[in-house]
Structure 1
Amino acid sequence: MVELLAPAGTWEALKAAVESGANAVYLSGKSFGARAFADNFDEESLKKAVTFAHMRNVSIHVTVNTLVDNSELPALANYLIFLYTIGVDAIIVQDLGVAKIAHEIVPDLPLHASTQMSINNLDSVKMLEKLHFSRVVLAREVSLNDIKYICKNAKIEIETFIHGAICVCYSGQCLMSSMIGGRSGNRGRCAQPCRLPYTLMDEKENDLLQNADAGQYLLSPRDMNTLDLVPELIEAGVSSFKIEGRMKKPEYVAVVVNAYRKKIDTYYNKTAFPEKEVKKELSQIFNRDFTTAYLLDRPGRTMISDRKPNNRGLLIGRVQKYNKKTFVADIKLSGDLNIGDKVDFWVKVGGRVNTNVTELKIDGKKVESAHSGDVASIKLPGHVQEHDRIFKILDAKLNEKAKTFFNSSDPVRRIPLDITLTASIGEPVKIDMVDGDQIHCSFTADFIAEKALKRPLTYETTAKQMDRLGSTIYYLRKLECNIADSVMVPMSVLNDIRRQAVDILYKKRLQHFTRQKPKRNTKWEELLLPHQQHKKQTAQLMVAVDNIQKLSAALKGGCDDILFGGDSYHHQNITAAQYTQAAKLCQDTGAAIFLAMPRILRQSETDLTAALFPKLPIDSFAGVYVHSVGQLKEIKDLCDQYNKNLPIWVDYSMNVFNNATIETLKEQDVSGCVLSPELNMQQLKVITNISPVPLEVLVQGNIELMVSEYCIAGSFLGGLHTGSCTAPCTKQKLYLRDRKDEHFPIVTDQFCHMHILNGRELVMLAHVPDLIELGLNRLRIDGRYMSSSKLTETVKLYKEVMHKGKYHKIFQNNLIEKIEGNNFTRGHFFRGILSND
């Protein structure tokens, strides 16, 4: 049976998840979890959570899914040992370095690959199999057909999200919150800039959606809801269904888990499903409207909640009449309304008016509830208009129903218990128990049964005492009494032996999950010690370009290396002929050329590399840059197939943040790494000092803040939701403008992925001497969004500064300030990002 995996950010949410039907719960400790703003669990509450869940046959998966700095690795190691020792069933990991350390020191603790690893094809899954993962949480962008294919061909478990909020960007690939606010999603502190208002602009500052039927929340996706697709996902071979929501209230967790529990059970049991009731409850508890995301198609604008980025509630009527003097609105109801509910009026002028319903009238008489067809009157705190829509955003009755799953001290889900009581005169009283999981125990009392003088023990009396299971996890399913005639046993003895036996059962249930503290393994600590390094050479200047014109511009400026191809910012396919031409131009000028892979390749696109590879002059390329573990596997396989020795570098999209990750990649024959743009100068210094492979950093260019399957231009201008797109991205330059008048360029590659770029260009020209001093092997300029003329001048300047250092003339008379201008950023080189704590 498929596992139902529920979120918990608080103790109440954990209870709600378990009692409403989850098979497993994922949660976080106080550190290393990607939802730092949830309450989360300290060490004592983690122990308690594991015990609570295991007693009820529920697994606990702990998120250790942030990127980890070198300085945090010792604390991480201790934390992993703690998690293993208390019996955690699995950890969810993004950072390959975390996975390596976990495998070294707690090899029996299952590793699950977080959705933040952006795993969207079979090659990536197979690579993670090799890296000791037992489960992969697929990216939300994977289609149902691709899920079927991956499940059929993968050896490890596949987990998919089925309900809740979704990211507009590939998870783990988003730098927007990080770069514009210093709060990194990769470190658990995403500020959710996707939920803010934006304007789609052209170069002339025209609002392109001014006359369109569109809201302002152009990056705010609807919530995922796959209730109708549960049978197909089960039949696809998915092992675990994941509900998003560690920031959500326990009421939300209870309602959503209960809904999917019913859907899953009715599928397996072939019973009727209360569809109307369940769908209403799911919509009521929280929704931004719903979507199945990319499971069935590319939905375009129908995936976006562009008018409201938070809970929209359930439409329950319209304003029929409004009295401006008394502030009383008469509402023609299309749904139920109760005292205690909270409603939101979508006002045509002035935004929203919301209120808690404390008094409700029908025909002037106070009532507790009103129903569809009634005209109900309530008083409001602000003005509304006739025909304004009313949405119920909190249902008091549904919330009370949800609270029954976590507010009571008595369990909701119970395990059946069969009891046999044996009592004979002159013999000790004995009780035998076996629960629904076939766990047995026996307990013999000190009390010797006596002959009854007045009231002999009966089956009915015994059943009454045995059924007093109260706050235990059991209910009495069957009682068998072997009671001799005229025997007497006091009620206190019956109660005592029942309690004693249940305690024994509890301990036996937990024995299955008990682990010994692992032996100390310090091998991982060697990663943080100076050891034999790669031979450091003079730093080279690498320039990334996506067409021949830009390549020529970079060569004219005097670059050392070219990174050619990958994603085209001009929405054009890059052909084998262009790669061949690029290699020839570099050969003629003495520059080394490297092959760039696209940042995202869906399952249906993974064959493109295999088709292109034999058409390329591979021997002319100095190496290839990959963006995922799947691409790493594919390139290695192709090199083996064609007997080529092509050095492989991993690009910054693989979030290389510590030396444990570098060591992991080195073991997979990676020749070099581009470090995460979220690292600061001090962190770079530590990493480069002990790195066994050459390293590179991005020093100039418009950093990609998001890469997404969703395309704003195609969705709102190109009719993408109709099944085709008019490609408006090819007709003009596009920007997103935010509330602070910052402009973020939008480009669309040849695979129709949308890339949102930072409007403030990264410029580190003034600090090139310091960067070279760190021991970096390459500095990269991303020239894909630059004009050719600017690229030539920029490359020329960087080469001069790399050669002359601080003695270059630009460091005199404040010339560097004039060159850099005002609209630029130093990224995280000096400010860094917030810690995991």
Structure 2
Amino acid sequence: MDKLKRKQALPLELLAPAGSYEAFKAAVENGTDAVYLGGKSFSARASAANFDLEELQKAVRYAHERQVKVYVTVNILISDQEFPELLNYLYDLHEIGVDAVILQDIGVAELIHRIIPELETHASTQMTVNTSWGVRHLESLGFSRVVLARETSAAEMKAIAEGTPLDLEVFVHGALCISYSGQCLMSSFIGGRSGNRGTCAQPCRMTYQLINDKKQNLLEEQNIGDHLLSPRDLNLAEELAELKGIGIHSLKVEGRMKRPEYVATVIRLYRQAIDRIEDQQEGNAVAPLLTPAEHQELLQVFNRDFTNGYFRENLGAELMSYSRPNNRGTRLGRVARSERGRLAIKLEGSLHPGDGIEFWTGRGREGVTVGLIWRNGLETTEGLPGETVEIEFSGIAHQGDRVFKTNDALLMEKARHSFQEGREQRKNPLTMRLSGHVGEQLCLEVMSAQRKVTVHSASPAQMAMKRPLTFDYAFQQLGRLGTTPFWLDKLEMEIDEGIMLPVSDLNEMRRQAIEELLKQSRQIVDRQTYRQRVERWKERQAFERNSSISLQKDILPQVSVAVSDPLTLQAALKAGGKRVLIGGEHWRSRRSFSLEEIRGSFLDCRKQKVDCVWRLPRVLNEAQSESLLIDLKKAAEWEVKPKIMVSNLGELEMLKSIDREWPFEVDYSLNVFNEGSLAYFRKLGAQRITLSPELHHEQLAYLAKWSGTEVIVFGDLEMMVSEYCPVGATLGGKKGERCARNCMKESHFLRDRMKYDFPVETDQECRMHLFNVKILNLYEELAQIRRMGVSTVRLQLTRQTPAQVQQSVRLFNEAWDMLQMAKKGKWTSNDGMAELSTIFPEGFTKGHFFRGVL
């Protein structure tokens, strides 16, 4: 059986979120196959309630008793100082019996595969993997599952599934990030709350204006809304059968920050849809997987409008919720009149006391909770579609104002009832067989779907004097399974007629059998063995660190300059640049390097003894990867292979597929945040590694001991990369065109509510790249950075003019050379800072150099 057919044969897994124990129970009791949740540490939803170890142990036991799996999120970047705590935590998770951990940090992934390979690992969507090449690399790392980037299309999913034995997981419902997950630094740089550390403040849900160089609001006349980075919610409920055919195994619902009632409702509805797929496969007529009423419940529980995201194509404006970033509710009707403390509403939907409703008026929105309801002057408990009812209301509303229901009291009560303590319904059927003869101990065999156990009565059976053991009585006693996760489905009896057994014996046999069934039979690595593995890992890490430190002495510190077009390359060389990074994204606003120009640039740089590196784009889809692969194969035939800087795992895998010895470097987009990640890429042959821009100076100093570290000290900070382009989506084009190519005609910015203007660039693939308002500038910290021992400092100048590049490179080269020659006393930052301030009037930031993200 080929990979795709094997995947299609697997049952779909419904994977639910749980940010609290209540939400966890809501998911289990409403039919989920697995739950993902976070501990108190190392979780990408740090503001959820999350689970301490005791709660986690309780949750795992509850889930496993009901054949539900538990995956724990360890999906943030981990600092070196956190590794001792992490080592203990990982063993605790293994000992508790979690089914897998979900990871972002590649250093943590390799750590687990070395010290506790028994713990299954899933690659988080935060790893930004959206191609078969990236998945292939994760396969070599030991992952068993990959959570694909939300931007992956159906066709790309199928191509990936056909080429990998790994399980594939995709998001099917809930909130969407506008940026590629793992590549968003917007919250981090604006407010110090890092998405890569689980504390994203969601600045994408705030208001923005699209402006040009002249500071004109380009959308002022369109009145589409100001939430220009706020997507709708994902809903793939009707695409589940197609996902199964594509080869997707796990269907993930987003929502660890959502209340339990939301989890209960969404999981119940998706469970029903999945079950109906099986009916359709058995030959029944193809029909929608959810009824109109069920779709209405999905809308009612929470929506920002729904979208199928990038499943089919890039939707542009249809992906977005421009008018509001939070729950829209469902259309309830319109205001008919308002008088004497009452408001009359012409209903399009049902209304009950306790419902939350919201009025959309010309002045904004006003919400109330419904109390008493009147129909024709009489109090009622329900208003129905088509009726006009009155409610108590003391606010301001006018005839014709739209009314939306934002909270359905009956739906919430239905959801709460499903996971109420003591009302658990998620139970497994048991078959029991009671057999034996007079004078012998009776035998009770108990069979679940997974196990079979056998117990015997404490005393032998006897002939009954008055009340023999009947089938009905035995079924009644053996079926008293109470709060256990079982119910008695079938009972078979093979006993002599007219015998009896004390009721206490029957009850004890039942108790023993259930206790045996609930025992978890799995192998646990003993703590001593684990400690020995950890010690070996520490020794290896120390050896690699020391080896790298010794190599560091032989590397001459340099200033590295990243440029994106031939003109700025010449400016960098003219200013005395000795190391250049060429390529990267191909901006639509300027002419980029062709492959032949990259080749020519390498030849020119070799003649001038300049270290030249071909820097690859940050994000590529499947088709773009194949195009790059063709170019790389051509470059492999050049007289001297160009040094390559990879920006994602797929690019690294492509490079290695052509030549395992091809020299390469690692860009900052791979989020190298600790020694484990450094060691991993060094082991694969990376000559230089650019460290994460979210590192604090003390973390940088620790990692700078390793050879080949590069730190970005100046230039543009890219905060977001997105398949969605606000320029093309909102400004439109001629009839039949999705985009008018306005990005090629003038510069664009997103202005926030504080009047800060964030530059927008669009690449040749029409992705949007959003940059920080201020330029990163660590010029004044160069002496400190030099003392750290950093191998290379980088100027990120991919959007600057040739004049800006030339002046910046000259200033940093002069400073770096002075510091390198130990002439610090002859150099001060004052003059250079004054000149830089003139060149870049937008102002500067020191990024995370002093504040960090921990």
TM tier relative to shorter chain: over 0.9
Deviation string, structure 1 residues 160-212 (Cα, Å, up to 9, x no partner): 11111111000000000101111111011111111111111111111111001
What is the aligned counterpart of 1:519 among 515, 522, 530? Answer: 530
What is the aligned counterpart of 1:446 among 433, 437, 458? Answer: 458
Tell me the CA shift for residue 798 of structure 1.
Answer: 0.5
Q: CA–CA distance in 1 between the matches of 2:631 and 2:455?
A: 72
Partner of 1:361: 374
Q: CA–CA distance in 2 between the matches of 1:721 and 1:389?
A: 32
1:823 paired to 2:836: no
Q: CA–CA distance in 1 between the matches of 2:341 and 2:581?
A: 65
Q: CA–CA distance in 1 between the matches of 2:321 and 2:712?
A: 34
CA contact (8 A) 2:566 2:593 kept: no
1:37 paired to 2:47: yes
Partner of 1:803: 817
What is the aligned counterpart of 2:126 among 116, 125, 144? Answer: 116
Deviation string, structure 1 residues 512-551 (Cα, Å, up to 9, x no partner): 4766545321222132565122233332111111111111
1:599 paired to 2:618: yes
Partner of 2:107: 97
1:456 paired to 2:473: no
Deviation string, structure 1 residues 762-803 (Cα, Å, up to 9, x no partner): 011111121121111111111122222122111111011111
1:767 paired to 2:781: yes
Deviation string, structure 1 residues 622-654 (Cα, Å, up to 9, x no partner): 5111111110111222335xxxx5420010000
Q: CA–CA distance in 2 between the matches of 1:720 and 1:266?
A: 43
Q: CA–CA distance in 2 between the matches of 1:119 and 1:41?
A: 28
Tell me the CA shift for residue 17 of structure 1.
Answer: 1.2
Tell me the CA shift for residue 818 of structure 1.
Answer: 6.8
Partner of 1:733: 747
CA contact (8 A) 1:70 1:528 kept: no
Q: CA–CA distance in 1 between the matches of 2:764 and 2:714?
A: 23
1:306 paired to 2:322: yes
Deviation string, structure 1 residues 345-364 (Cα, Å, up to 9, x no partner): 11222x11111111111112
1:560 paired to 2:582: no
What is the aligned counterpart of 1:635 among 652, 655, 659? Answer: 655
CA contact (8 A) 1:327 1:380 kept: yes
Q: CA–CA distance in 2 between the matches of 1:812 and 1:235?
A: 62
Letter in 2 for 1:194: C
1:505 paired to 2:517: yes
Q: CA–CA distance in 2 between the matches of 1:551 and 1:232?
A: 48
Partner of 1:318: 334
Q: CA–CA distance in 2 between the matches of 1:764 and 1:330?
A: 63
Tell me the CA shift for residue 671 of structure 1.
Answer: 1.5
SS for the counterpart of 1:606 is helix
Letter in 1 for 2:805: L
Partner of 1:417: 430
Partner of 1:281: 297
Between stretches 550-559 and 670-679, larger displacement belongs to 550-559
> Residues 612 and 622 from structure 1, CA distance in 2 versus in 1: closer, same or farther, beyond 3 angstroms?
closer
SS for the counterpart of 1:408 is coil
Q: CA–CA distance in 1 between the matches of 2:542 and 2:853?
A: 21
Q: CA–CA distance in 1 between the matches of 2:612 and 2:538?
A: 36
1:495 paired to 2:507: yes
1:165 paired to 2:175: yes
What is the aligned counterpart of 1:379 among 387, 392, 398? Answer: 392
CA contact (8 A) 2:443 2:457 kept: yes
Partner of 1:698: 712
Q: CA–CA distance in 2 between the matches of 1:444 and 1:387?
A: 74
What is the aligned counterpart of 2:412 among 381, 392, 399? Answer: 399
Between stretches 565-574 and 537-546, larger displacement belongs to 565-574
Q: CA–CA distance in 1 between the matches of 2:390 and 2:670?
A: 57
Letter in 1 for 2:578: D
CA contact (8 A) 2:436 2:442 kept: yes
CA contact (8 A) 1:320 1:332 kept: yes
CA contact (8 A) 2:583 2:592 kept: no
Partner of 1:577: 596
Tell me the CA shift for residue 589 of structure 1.
Answer: 3.8
Structure-to-structure mapping, 1:13-24, within 5 angstroms: 13-24=23-34
Partner of 1:334: 348
Deviation string, structure 1 residues 222-267 (Cα, Å, up to 9, x no partner): 1110011111110000121111111111111111111111111111
Tell me the CA shift for residue 408 of structure 1.
Answer: 3.3
Q: CA–CA distance in 1 between the matches of 2:81 and 2:56?
A: 24
Tell me the CA shift for residue 76 of structure 1.
Answer: 1.2
SS for the counterpart of 2:766 is coil
Tell me the CA shift for residue 698 of structure 1.
Answer: 0.8
CA contact (8 A) 2:775 2:842 kept: no
1:609 paired to 2:620: no
What is the aligned counterpart of 2:560 among 526, 529, 542? Answer: 542
CA contact (8 A) 1:649 1:672 kept: yes
Q: CA–CA distance in 1 between the matches of 2:120 and 2:47?
A: 26
CA contact (8 A) 2:587 2:762 kept: yes
Q: CA–CA distance in 2 between the matches of 1:612 and 1:441?
A: 62
Tell me the CA shift for residue 461 of structure 1.
Answer: 1.9
Tell me the CA shift for residue 812 of structure 1.
Answer: 7.0
SS for the counterpart of 1:538 is coil
Q: CA–CA distance in 1 between the matches of 2:356 and 2:525?
A: 48
Between stretches 411-420 and 811-820, larger displacement belongs to 811-820
What is the aligned counterpart of 1:467 among 476, 479, 494? Answer: 479
1:174 paired to 2:191: no
Tell me the CA shift for residue 447 of structure 1.
Answer: 3.4
Q: CA–CA distance in 2 between the matches of 1:723 and 1:296?
A: 18
Gaps of 5+ in 1: none
Partner of 2:762: 748
Structure-to-structure mapping, 1:64-75, within 5 angstroms: 64-75=74-85
SS for the counterpart of 1:634 is helix
Tell me the CA shift for residue 695 of structure 1.
Answer: 0.8
Between stretches 194-203 and 421-430, larger displacement belongs to 421-430
Deviation string, structure 1 residues 295-351 (Cα, Å, up to 9, x no partner): 10110011111111011111111112223xx342211111111111111111222x1
Tell me the CA shift for residue 621 of structure 1.
Answer: 6.5
Q: CA–CA distance in 2 between the matches of 1:735 and 1:378?
A: 46
Q: CA–CA distance in 2 between the matches of 1:490 and 1:301?
A: 73
Tell me the CA shift for residue 702 of structure 1.
Answer: 1.6
> Residues 233 and 171 from structure 1, CA distance in 2 versus in 1: closer, same or farther, beyond 3 angstroms?
same
CA contact (8 A) 1:104 1:523 kept: no
Figure out how many residues of one structure are paired with residues of the other and give that number.
Answer: 822
Partner of 1:3: 13
Deviation string, structure 1 residues 796-819 (Cα, Å, up to 9, x no partner): 110111112374777276773674
SS for the counterpart of 1:370 is coil
CA contact (8 A) 1:93 1:112 kept: yes
Gaps of 5+ in 2: 1-10
1:25 paired to 2:40: no
Letter in 2 for 1:226: L
CA contact (8 A) 2:178 2:230 kept: yes
CA contact (8 A) 1:61 1:89 kept: yes
> Residues 498 and 381 from structure 1, CA distance in 2 versus in 1: closer, same or farther, beyond 3 angstroms?
farther
Tell me the CA shift for residue 391 of structure 1.
Answer: 1.3
